[in-house]
Amino acid sequence: MSNPLLVPINQLIDYAQIKAEHIVPAIEHLLAQAKEAVNQVNDQPVATWDNTVTALNNATEQLWRAWTVVGHINAVINSPALREAKTTCLPQITEFSTWLGQNEGLYKKYKQLSESAESASFNAEQKRAIELALRDFRLGGVELQGQARTRFGEISEQQAVASQRFSENVLDSMDQWALYITDESQLDGIPADAKAAFAEAAKADDKTGWKITLKMPSYLPVMQYATNRDLRQTVYKAYATIASDQAGKPDLDNSEVIEQLLRLRAEESDLLGFQTFADLRLETRMADHADQVIHFIRDLAQRALPFARQDLAQLKAYAAELGLSDFQPWDAAFVSEKLRESQYAYSEDEVKQYFTEPQVLQGLFDVAQRLFGVQFKAADHSVWHPDVKAFDVINDQQQLIGYLYIDLYARAGKQGGAWVNSERSRRRTADGLQLPVTYLVCNFSSPQDGKPALLTHDDVITLFHESGHALHNLLSTVDEPDVSAFAAVEWDAIELPSQFMENFCWEFPVIQKMSSHVDNGDSLPLALYQKMLAAKNFQSGMQMVRQLEFSLFDMLIHHQSQGLTIQQVLDNLDQVRAEVAVIIPPSWHRFPHAFSHLFAGGYGAGYYSYKWAEVLSADAYAAFEENAVTLADGSRDTLHASTGLRFRDEVLAVGGIRPAADSFKAFRGREPSADALLRHSGLSTTEAA
């Protein structure tokens, strides 16, 4: 029991004690234990709920919990030793997962259970769990025989290894690139807090001057504020060629990895009887087929393109006023920020001074309490890094219902981006109620000069977005983990709670409570808020088509009967850009090579989910707008408690016990409409020429 990965499932992990040498022994022990237990399940003469479903969960949940922890610490405190340990275990885990998915004995047990007399007494969760399990067995290749079954196992292992390699190449390519500046004039225009962070980074490397990296807290200030155009171009090109043939590091080039993954995905689909990987993926989605998704994307693109073209024309005209008549992609963020300042008389840097991380976090917690009756109390649980904060989650009956770990700051060895993961799901067992454990991870700028960390408004939106995912897991009332939100909600609906939460970042009563100026503690003034609100849909057309570009590219490269060469991948991207993009990057741009969502994050043939779910989330939020209360200052209070509780009970709490479409209709009382999304985005079709 000295191994922290082997603590009983009902205990919290002692993260501070985890070492690389714990990983292989723990995983191998848990694998052996799980295999033996699965075989015991198969030996039962008659399938019952307890000796099949309960026994299988008992057999595997500690293994999957430990493996989640291994993946998590690799993402947040990566080191060569941790990486080596995970790489050692990955083939064994993949082999076990494939064996489990293709286990004919288990498949027969579940079929027997679904047809048994006992099934008549199953509740909704149990029936849904059986239904999804049978589907997943079929998609896991259980009906394959002989060479096809063997090959399916090989494909699964090769995909897991390739995805891991893709992710490592991106992380290493980012971490190994740095630009040291010794002449401060080269940093003209960049905000003081960003420059202070650059200086700290250089000092940490025992160098003088300033260090620029490709992490977002470093990259974005350069692209938005640096008047030095050559510097912007240098940093832009480095970021645009991460892990590619253009980066000068052949050993980190993801070209072959992308080809391998597309080839393996096409072969996997063919083995399971699907024409394309997209068709296979959509078996577990709200959308019915690839053509429906492609039509959805192209329809939104046609609505957004007139606005995007207007945005670009305005941007280029303003660039010319700034002396940038030969407008280039590395000018876009810089000119956009200058244009916003000129049109709305404020800068992102000015706004950032009001969003101190402790105040924003408290504001988020206040919103969750008012809407959903949930509190977050700081707790002294073991964490993996000093930056991490742990919280006990308490419901409106003052009962502990879960645990939340929040890791907000960027650092070396930490994967970029923002995400939520579930270490452990809620589960009711004979021993009592097992509570969910959830991670919320971001990559914001860390505190500087003894002051609290400052968040941009985009950072605030990101935090609220991820909190929606966390709440989906933490507020679950589902007792069976097989139908929990992260296990069973369709991928193209999983973003509904997260995108829904973003809307509150634009409401003045919420902003007032979560803003506190770093120097004087003042909340954000109404006049500045009104400027932000006026600018809310600034370049929304360009932003919309950029997301649709990613979505259409993803769907087209996966809607193929065979793999593609890297040149064919890039050709597809060029064709997509010709159709839906307005800013065309240089030929050396290698966006796919760092597109971890597609090749290492589970979003392959699923990136459209963001826009699909945004239709749902905007329409869901419209229910709060319809019930908003007008306050004395004229602002509206959308934190409508009874509507919040309905959203909690009909969407968040039910996880995947029913199709997401049914949960949406239970909350909204009707089918979803795209009208609210277009209205929120300022893309009314009557407004564009």
Q: What is the pLDDT of residue 542?
A: 97
Rg of the chain, C-alpha, whole Å: 25
Are 72 and 134 members of one domain? yes
Are 80 and 200 members of one domain? no
b/e sequence 122-161, b meaning 16+ C-beta within 10 Å? beebbebbbebbbebbbbbbbebeeeebeebbebbbbbbb
Q: What are phi and psi of 340, to 5 degrees?
A: -60, -45
Are 32 and 78 members of one domain? yes
Is 376 part of any domain? no
Residues, the chain, total?
689
Summarised one tens digit per residue, pLDDT across range 536-588 is: 999 999 999 999 999 999 999 999 999 999 999 999 999 999 999 999 999 99
Q: Are 347 and 619 in contact (CB under 8 A)?
A: no
Is 55 part of any domain? yes
Are 120 and 197 members of one domain? no
Q: Are 61 and 427 in contact (CB under 8 A)?
A: yes
Are 110 and 189 members of one domain? no
Are 20 and 115 members of one domain? yes
For the chain, the domain total comes to 2
Are 16 and 134 members of one domain? yes
Give the pairing type, strands 375-379 and 629-630: unpaired
Are 195 and 131 members of one domain? no
Is 212 part of any domain? yes
- In degrees, rounded to 5, the angle at the alpha carbon of residue 658 between the alpha carbons of residues 653 and 661 is 95
Is 657 part of any domain? no
Are 225 and 131 members of one domain? no
Structure confidence at residue 678 as a pLDDT band (50, 70, 90): confident
Find the helix or strand (DSSP H, E) in which 438 lies. Answer: strand 437-444
Q: Over pLDDT 90: what percentage of the chain?
A: 95
Summarised one tens digit per residue, pLDDT across range 591-605 is: 999 999 999 989 999
Is 65 part of any domain? yes
CATH code for the domain in which residue 25 is found: 1.20.1050.40
Cα separation, 590 vs 242, in Å, equals 7
Is 206 part of any domain? yes
Domain final residue pick, 222, 241, 260? 241
Q: How far is CA 137 from the centre of its chain?
A: 26
Summarised one tens digit per residue, pLDDT across range 9-25 is: 999 999 999 999 999 99
Mark whether 466 is an active-site residue.
yes
Is 117 part of any domain? yes
Domain final residue pick, 225, 241, 257? 241
Q: Check pLDDT > 60 for residue 689.
A: no
Is 120 part of any domain? yes
* Closest to 494 (Cα-Cα) out of 656, 623, 313: 656
Are 74 and 26 members of one domain? yes
The catalytic residue among 357, 423, 466, 495 is 466
Cα separation, 39 vs 103, in Å, equals 10
Structural domain for 222, as ranges? 177-241
Q: What are phi and psi of 160, to 5 degrees?
A: -60, -45
Q: Check pLDDT > 70 for residue 35.
A: yes
Cα separation, 592 vs 577, in Å, equals 13
Are 15 and 65 members of one domain? yes
Domain final residue pick, 139, 161, 195? 139
* Percentages of the chain per state (helix, strand, coil), in multiples of 5: 60, 10, 30
Q: What is the pLDDT of residue 687?
A: 40
Are 9 and 59 members of one domain? yes
